[in-house]
Amino acid sequence: MPVLTHYICVPRYGFNVTSEETEPGFGPNVIATLPSDTNPNTFVVVGAHFDSRGRDRASTTEVAPGANDDGSGVAMQLELAKAIHSWDQEFEYGLIIASFVGEEQGLIGSGVLATKMKAEGKEVLAMFAADMIAYHKPGNNLQVGLATQSVSPILNDLFTDVAKDYTPEMEVCTTTGTRFVCCYHIPAAALPPQLFLAPL
């Protein structure tokens, strides 16, 4: 049964789905939580954002590439929730699927969630970010870019190993550019030291 959170209708798929107010002038985050009885205060976060903008950050009328940046990430989140629901498994750690607002304007939504989680004493074991995952240049192999700065090498290695098993045709690349690191990951300073970051 879908839940209407403001104007966003999302299926629950066994998750507790809530809207989370952010800052004046911005819509809410949509947060889907699947708690764990084993470790109720430790979570893996999968983030994406549903705001978009064009090259002119101040324009309210310019066409923006929202389907890929980052409708593709949000679509992946819905498919992930659906798949997890169909598995009917319990997890050792809780899972938060967070659809953020205000990424393009300065990590607004992810900052609100990070501050709230820290205040509530919740730990983030790992954070995966899915941004612009639908673009495929004709003639090129499937590719995914992993940042090498301010991330966990352990998670990058895990992602690479899983990708080899399930999508061996996909090329896993790395980048030292801060564009990927700064995207909309939950700000590390606002979370406990156990935080690891790795983009999808």
- pLDDT attached to residue 159: 86
**2-134+178-199 — its CATH code?**
3.40.630.10
Name the residue ranges covered by the structural domains of the chain: 2-134+178-199
pTM: 0.79
The one-digit pLDDT tens for each residue of the chain (200 residues) are 444 444 445 567 889 999 899 888 888 999 999 999 999 999 999 999 887 776 676 777 777 777 778 888 889 999 999 999 998 888 999 999 999 988 877 788 899 999 999 999 999 998 888 888 877 778 888 888 787 777 788 888 888 898 899 888 888 888 775 444 333 344 333 333 333 333 33
CA distances from 91 to 36, 38, 87 (A): 6, 8, 11
Cα distances (angstroms) measured from residue 180 to each of 103, 109, 144:
12, 17, 11
Q: For 189-200, how does the pLDDT look when each residue is reduced to its tens digit (9 = 90+)?
A: 333 333 333 333
CA distances from 134 to 8, 80, 148, 190 (A): 21, 15, 21, 30
- Which pLDDT score, from 0 to 100, does residue 27 have? 85
* 9-23 pLDDT per residue, tens: 556 788 999 989 988
* Alpha-carbon distances of 13 from 19, 40, 200, rounded to whole Å: 16, 19, 22
Cα-based distances in Å from 141 to 26, 34, 136, 165: 37, 34, 8, 16
Structure tokens at 88: 């009917």
Instruction: Report phi then psi at 57, rounded to 5.
Output: -60, -25
